[in-house]
Amino acid sequence: MDAGGLYGGAGLRLRRLHAGAEGLGTLKDPVRIRAALPEDVAAVSTLLIETWHDTYDALLGSDKVDEITQLWHAPAVLLQQLKQPRISFLVAETAGQIVGHAFASAWNLPALEIARLYVRPDRQRQGIGNRFLDALIALYPRADKLSLSVEKFNFRAVAFYLHHGFVIHDEAVEDGAAILFLEKTLPQREP
C-alpha cells in the first residue's frame, strides 16, 4: 500500500507540497513551506547548527551544543531521516534559502509527534512557526493530537507552544536537562 493509503493521505499531500500545488504562501509572504528534497539536507544541517547555538548555548554551553548538533544534525543523518516512512520533513524556503525546518513523526497516529521545529534566528517571530504547525495539521487529517517535548527554560519555544494552545502534561529531567512534555488536542476533521 502506498504511503497515502497508510497515513491518511499524507504521502499524497506531501507530493503536492513538493510540486507546489498546495503552496501555503501568499503574495504578501514569500516564504514557502514544502517537503524537503535530498539536496536540501546540507542547508538544513547549517540551519539547525546555527539555530541550536542561538537557542541552547546559554542553557547547555557552546561546546555541548557543538557536540550534540554535529552528531544529530550531520547531513548524512538528516538524509536517512528524510527517507524514513511515516514522517514529514519540511522546510521553509524564501528566495532560494532554507530559513526553517520541521520534522514530525506519524508512527503513533492519531497522535502526531513534532520532533523538530526550527526557524533561523533572523527569521523568527515572522509567522513561520505558525505556518509549519498549520502545514503539519493539514498533512494529517486523522491526527487528533500534537505532542512534543521542549527544554523547560527555552522560554521562546514554550511561549510559542502555549500561544498555540498546547498544555503541559508532564515534566522530567533527562541527561541533566529539565524537559516539558506538551500536547495539543486537535478538533475532529474530515479525512
Ligand X SMILES: CC(C)(COP(=O)(O)OP(=O)(O)OC[C@H]1O[C@@H](n2cnc3c(N)ncnc32)[C@H](O)[C@@H]1OP(=O)(O)O)[C@@H](O)C(=O)NCCC(=O)NCCS
- Site of interaction with ligand X (CB under 6 A): 51, 55, 117-119, 124-130, 150, 154, 156-157, 159-160, 163
| CA atoms of 153 and 142, how far apart (whole Å) | 32
Nearer to ligand X, 117 or 136 (CB): 117
Dist. CA 158–CA 26, nearest whole Å: 27
| Residue 15, all three cell numbers | 507530493
Min dist. Cβ of residue 8 to ligand X (A): 24
Report in angstroms how near the CB of residue 117 gets to ligand X at its nearest: 4
Question: In degrees rounded to 5, what are phi and psi of residue 124?
Answer: -75, 160
Taking the complex as a whole, how short is the minimal distance between the CB of residue 12 and ligand X, in angstroms? Answer: 26
Task: Compute the least distance from the CB of residue 65 to ligand X, in Å.
Answer: 12
How many other CB atoms are there within 10 angstroms of residue 187's CB atom? Answer: 6
User: Would you say 51 or 88 has its CB closer to ligand X?
Assistant: 51
Contact 63/118 with Cβ under 8 angstroms?
A: no
Between residues 83 and 125, which has the closer beta carbon with respect to ligand X? 125
The C-alpha atoms of residue 86 and residue 74 are separated, in whole angstroms, by 21
Give the nearest residue (CB) to ligand X: 129
